[in-house]
Structure 1
């Protein structure tokens, strides 16, 4: 077992402890991060966000990797999340690093605050008070550099599947209703690569199907993209 795996294995046990101690209203998620395959390797109380082992990273987790948030932070706390069935979560992420300070995993805690927010809204409505404060500091990220665009809302979206995440990141309109040009294919694959979506298990087959191309063709495009994006 390599050192990174040994480190992550320790967090598997720690995740179990957190789940037992905090209770079923807290979702505990352990995510593995590497250049070949990233995703959930352990989860407790997954009914909070309706996820399971093997599911992909969220959009915000991917942005942490892309923006290298983990370099200057050991953890991020008190940011909001939204599931596909409109639950409002308050979340925190601890960045797991190896001795070289490389990111190898994330330990995430999510708690469903939907009912609390609804109760507060009802109480405020009785007093005819605006509930705009719910969108302010108490329920927004404390770290201003979590998003690449300062005007972008730092809201974590818990997608239902890898397909949802990939579809969300294919930015060319009607890509699935017509034949894409070579430059369009390159633009899509480049964007997905820069978003680290090819780290996800099964991403190659999903992208190839969505773009109506063979996996071998996709690998050829991806090889060019990797060469052009070498640091």
Structure 2
């Protein structure tokens, strides 16, 4: 038994350690939803090696459930962590007990004082036909024919505001029900509903683009909040 496992078996978990670990549960759900049904996401708690799995999504790929034990490779990675301090080893390939190939990645999760309290593991099952896997990563055009969701990936907050502003302008100008008098307020309402005014530069940028005062923008925002 390595020094790491000896120490961990003696380590007492605090309530804060458990809360920190549970904070990753929603991330596990989100990642499994993003990658798709061919991906298993597991969170191990190092409080008990014998029942380390405290969260698992799509566990049918390895036949595990909550309360399952840590793997031999997981114990090996803990030893590697002790030797190198590396919390995010590179992804690796392994073979499941049913013969299917998995591409996996494991990250050590730290608790209070930086002590390891868990492991976040992602296992992609590559045994399915590749077109079937790709299909889960692509949009269903029957459900989203126009891919209406827009997201601005920018290097600065100002650019995020400007792109969001341009989208709002385009949407309002394409809406025949909005007259010229209500145009600025309608544009500001879209930006408000989308949370753009949480960014500090937003008020100035919007006011300058719409050729109105900052006070006018603030007035619109107060109306929306009320």
TM-score, L = length of structure 1? 0.46
Greater radius of gyration (CA): 2
